[in-house]
Structure 1
Amino acid sequence: MYFIFSKVLLFLLFPLNWIIIFLLIALFSKRQKLKRKCFITGVVLLIIFSNPLLLYLFAKNWDVNSAPLNKNKVYSSVIVLGGFSGEDKNGNGVFNENADRFIQGVKLKEEGRVSHILISSGNGNLGQSKFKEAVWTQSVLKEFNLPDSAVLIEPDSRNTFENATFSKQILQKAHLQPPYILVTSAYHMRRSLYIFKKEGMDVVPYSSGRITSNVKFSFLDYMMPDAGVLAGWCTYLKELIGLTVAHLK
C-alpha cells in the first residue's frame, strides 16, 4: 500500500501537472476572475520551474559529493542502486539517462577498488512486468567478462528502503565485511545514505551523474526557459518527498 501511495503522491506533486491543471481551468472556466488568476498562476509556475538557474542552485546544495576512498584498501563490495535501465517494448533491457551508475560501479571493479559488485534492483513499476533490472544487468556484466563469483544481484527491491534491507541480507550471507561503496546518482545519494545508515549499513558515498559539474554556462543559459528543467524538478521533488517520508518512518 505504501508503495502505491508514494507513486500517487508523487504524481500529484509534480509541478508540470499543476501547471497543466491551472492552465486548463483558465481555458475552460466561465468565471473571468478565476480564469485570470489561474492563467497567471500557471504562467508564473511555468517560469519558475523552467528556469535552469533555480534548479542548478537547488541541486548544488542538495547533491552529495563522493567521499574520498582509501587508496590502500580494497573494499569488499560496491553496491550499485538500480534505476539506470528499463525495458523496451519488446521486454529487452536498455540503459537510460542514469547509466553512469552502472559505469561507475564497473569502473570501480575494473580498477581493483572492490572485490565484488552488487546490483540492487527489481522492478519499481506499478504495472505487471517480468523485467528484473538486476537479472538483466547480470547478463550484461557477463559480457564484460566479470567472473560470476564477483557479481551479486538483489532482484526483488522496488524502492530504496528495500534496496537497503535486501542488500544487507545478501552481503551478510556472502560474509562480505563493511564498509561498502554505495553508488547512485548525486541527486539520489542524500536519501540513499540516510536510509542505508538507518538500516545499520556502513557505506561510503560514490556519486554519479552530477548535473552541477564544472560546466561553463553563460548568463543567457541560466535565464532562458528550458523544458528539460521541469523534468529535473520532478526528480528533485521526488527525492525531497522520499527523504521526508524516510524521516517519518
Structure 2
Amino acid sequence: MFFLLSKTLHFLLMPYIWVLLLMFLALFLRSQKWRRISLISSLVILVVLSNPFLSNEAWRAWEVEPMPVKDVVDYDVAVILTGVTSYREDVPDRIHTSKGADRFLHPLMLYRMGKIKKFFVTGGSGYILKDRIPEADQIKKILVLAGVPATDIITESSSRNTRENAQHTADQLRNHPEWKKVLLVTSAFHMRRAAACFKKAGVKADSFTADFYGYERRFTPDELIIPNIAAFSSWHLLIHEVSGFLIYKLLGYC
C-alpha cells in the first residue's frame, strides 16, 4: 500500500500539474478574483521554478556534500542503492542507465583503487504492474562486465524503497559479521533519507555521495535571468525527495 501511495504522491508533486490545475481554474472559475489569483499563481510558479540560480541554490542547500576520494579509507563493503537502471521491451538486449549511474561507477572506481573489498547492491523493481529484471541484478551484470569477480558482488532484489533497503542491508550484515566497515553510496539528494533509514535500522555506515545536481554558483545572465526548462523539471525530483524525507520522519521510518 505504501508503495502505491508513494507513486501517487510522485505524480501529485509535479509542479507541471500545479500549473495546469491553476490554469484550468483561471479559465473556469466564476469568481473574477479567484480566476486572477489562479492565473498569477501559475505564472509565479513558472517564473520562480524555471530560474536556474534559484534551483541550484535549493539543490546546494539540500544535497549532502561529497567525501573526497583521498579521505576514503579501506571499507569491507560498499552498499549501493539502486534506482538508476531501467528496462525497455523494445531494446531488451542491453542494460539502460540514467544520470544516477554514478551510484555504481564511483564505488567501482574506489574498488579499483583498493578502497573497497565487496559490493552489496540492494534494490528490486520500481514498476507497479509489471515484473522487470531487478535493478540489483542489472547493476551486478555491469560490474561483472567491468571486471569485478561475481564473488565480490552480493545482491538483494526484494527492496522497493529506501526503508526496505536499510532493513535488508541490516539482515545481510548479520549474515556477514566480517563486514565491519560499511560505506553507504547513493545520490547526494537521496543521502539524507538513506542515511537516516540505515541508522534507524541499526546499520553503522559512512556516507559517500554521488550523482550531484547542484553545481558551483554562476552569476551570469543565463543563470540569473533566462528561464530554463531543465531547472523547472529538476524541482519535481527535489520536492519529491524532501516530501519523502518528511513523510518517512512522520512515519518513524528514519
TM-score (norm 1): 0.91
**Cα distance in 1 between the residues matched to 2:158 and 2:233:** 27
**Partner residue, 1:132:** 134
**Partner residue, 1:8:** 8
**Cα distance in 2 between the residues matched to 1:95 and 1:163:** 20
Q: Give 3-state SS (helix, strand or coil) of 1:130's partner.
A: coil
Q: Give 3-state SS (helix, strand or coil) of 1:241's partner.
A: helix
Corresponding letter in the other structure for 1:19: V
**Partner residue, 2:89:** 89
Instruction: Give 1:116 shift.
Output: 0.1
Instruction: Give 1:137 shift.
Output: 1.5
**Partner residue, 2:54:** 54
**Cα distance in 1 between the residues matched to 2:178 and 2:214:** 34
Contact 2:79 2:119 in 1 (8 A): yes
Q: Give 3-state SS (helix, strand or coil) of 2:190's partner.
A: helix
Q: Structure 1's 44 and 193: CA in aligned 2 closer, same or farther, altered over 3 A?
A: same
State the Cα deviation string for residues 210-234 of structure 1 (Å, max 9, x = none): 2223475524323211111122111
Q: Write the mapping of 1:1-249 to structure 2, written as runs, cut at 5 A.
A: 1-29=1-29, 31-67=31-67, 73-90=73-90, 91=92, 92-214=94-216, 216=218, 218-248=220-250, 249=252
Q: Which 10-residue stretch deviates more, 195-204 or 72-81?
A: 72-81
Contact 2:136 2:156 in 1 (8 A): yes
**Cα distance in 2 between the residues matched to 1:43 and 1:176:** 57
Corresponding letter in the other structure for 1:233: W
Q: Give 3-state SS (helix, strand or coil) of 2:83's partner.
A: coil
Corresponding letter in the other structure for 1:195: C
Contact 2:75 2:116 in 1 (8 A): yes
**Cα distance in 1 between the residues matched to 2:234 and 2:72:** 37
State the Cα deviation string for residues 95-148 of structure 1 (Å, max 9, x = none): 111111121121111111010011111112222122211111212222112111
Q: Percent identity?
A: 28
**Cα distance in 2 between the residues matched to 1:115 and 1:213:** 31
Contact 2:56 2:215 in 1 (8 A): no
Instruction: Figure out how many residues of one structure are paired with residues of the other and give that number.
Output: 249
**Cα distance in 2 between the residues matched to 1:142 and 1:215:** 38
Corresponding letter in the other structure for 1:7: K
Instruction: Give 1:29 shift.
Output: 4.4
Q: Structure 1's 16 and 120: CA in aligned 2 closer, same or farther, altered over 3 A?
A: same
Instruction: Give 1:17 shift.
Output: 0.8
Q: Give 3-state SS (helix, strand or coil) of 2:80's partner.
A: strand
Q: Structure 1's 72 and 124: CA in aligned 2 closer, same or farther, altered over 3 A?
A: closer
Q: Give the unaligned 5+ runs of structure 1.
A: none
Q: Which 10-residue stretch deviates more, 66-75 or 52-61?
A: 66-75
**Cα distance in 2 between the residues matched to 1:204 and 1:70:** 15
Q: Give the unaligned 5+ runs of structure 2.
A: none
Q: Structure 1's 59 and 245: CA in aligned 2 closer, same or farther, altered over 3 A?
A: same
**Cα distance in 1 between the residues matched to 2:80 and 2:113:** 16
Report the RMSD for the aligned CA atoms in angstroms.
2.1
Contact 2:84 2:99 in 1 (8 A): yes
Instruction: Give 1:181 shift.
Output: 0.9
Instruction: Give 1:24 shift.
Output: 2.2
